[in-house]
Amino acid sequence: MNQPVSVDPPAVQLAWPFAVLGLVGGWITADILNMLVEGMRLFVVLTTSAVSAGLGAILSRYLRSRPFPHALGTLFAVALAGAVNGGLLGLLIMKIEVLFFGAGFGIVCSIPFLPVLGSVVAVARRVGRARQGSLVDASDRRKVWITAMVFLAPSVLLTFLPQRPSTIVVVEALLSLVAALVIAVSFARDLGALLLARGLAEREARFVSPDSDLARETIARVDLGLGDELHQEVARAGSTYREHTRPTRLIRGNPAAAVAALRWNVGVGVAALLIALASIGLRVASSWPR
């Protein structure tokens, strides 16, 4: 009897960040086309989000392919998704000529999304350099969302002509606010991971053989993600006659490499947070009564 072939899951799932970016892209498209009919606007927003989610799910399966073929595949997939989305809009109008026009229009509208989605894909390709569940791996996964949110936050500025407060303006302001909140939470967690890694790098630690009894003990462990070294963190305890040490937890990985990777991710988070906050300020200023 043949055994089923197991397929490795994607290193990171892009369906959700792509769905969020598609939702915002649909909203912006509706603004640019001046779609004031709520039903039409809702259709554009939902279909763009659904098509983008499908695109993200497909691209997630090929993140480990070689860079150049993957870049060409991403380019083709984004254009195809734009054609499908535009075709669905033409289908809503129930005219065959509008269907083909909508597909072509969708391809044109997909062009501004190429750098956005391409950047998210490029960041996602780095997920997997560290062991799954480690400090660096968790930070790399958060950076995918930070990248998506940093494009989401200023995207509403495409329609930031002075407007009186309205439901549309409030929604657009909330989009930037949500993006800034996601970035701020991710940045705080990355900063905590960096401080932990730096603290571990500065404390006294001793090399542990992977075959030793200590390596198999059920004590606290911290996986930095980069490097295979195994060390024990020790705490000194004084006694009346002599000073001895006791292991407190095991540390797997290279602290210096982990600190360098986390420091870069924290820097990206700082830049993203500044962009998001500036976007909110410009959004509010553009809608402020004069």
Of 36-45, 103-112, 205-214, 272-281, the one with minimum mean pLDDT is 205-214
Q: At what angle do helices 135-155 and 113-124 cross, to 10 degrees?
A: 170
Looking at the predicted structure, is the pLDDT value of residue 147 above 90? yes
The answer to whether the CB of 47 falls within 8 A of the CB of 89 is yes
Domain coordinates of the chain in residue numbers?
9-125, 200-255
Q: In terms of DSSP bridges, do strands 230-238 and 220-223 run parallel, antiparallel, or are they unpaired?
A: unpaired
What pLDDT digit, counting tens, does each position of 8-64 carry? 455 789 999 999 998 888 887 777 777 656 677 788 888 989 999 999 999 998 887
For residue 211, the one-letter residue type is D
pTM: 0.83
Calpha distance 10→30 (Å, rounded) = 33
Calpha distance 44→82 (Å, rounded) = 12
Looking at the predicted structure, is the pLDDT value of residue 240 above 60? no
Bigger pLDDT: 275 vs 153 = 275
Q: In what order do the strands lie in the sheet with 243-252?
A: 205-207, 230-238, 243-252, 220-223
Q: In terms of DSSP bridges, do strands 230-238 and 243-252 run parallel, antiparallel, or are they unpaired?
A: antiparallel
Calpha distance 93→85 (Å, rounded) = 13
Of 83-87, 233-237, 280-284, the one with minimum mean pLDDT is 233-237
The answer to whether the CB of 153 falls within 8 A of the CB of 274 is no
Using alpha carbons, select from 64, 100, 61 the residue that is nearest to residue 77: 61
Q: Quick check: helix, strand or coil at residue 64? A: coil
Bigger pLDDT: 16 vs 250 = 16
Q: How confident is the model at residue 247 (pLDDT cuts 50, 70, 90)?
A: low
The answer to whether the CB of 268 falls within 8 A of the CB of 145 is no
Of 86-100, 213-227, 238-252, the one with minimum mean pLDDT is 238-252
Bigger pLDDT: 34 vs 128 = 128
Burial 217-239 (b: 16+ CB within 10 A, else e): eeeeebbbbbbebbbbbbeeeee
| pLDDT mean across residues, the chain | 79
Looking at the predicted structure, is the pLDDT value of residue 6 above 50? no
Using alpha carbons, select from 174, 255, 169 the residue that is nearest to residue 207: 255
What pLDDT digit, counting tens, does each position of 157-183 carry? 555 444 555 566 667 667 778 888 999
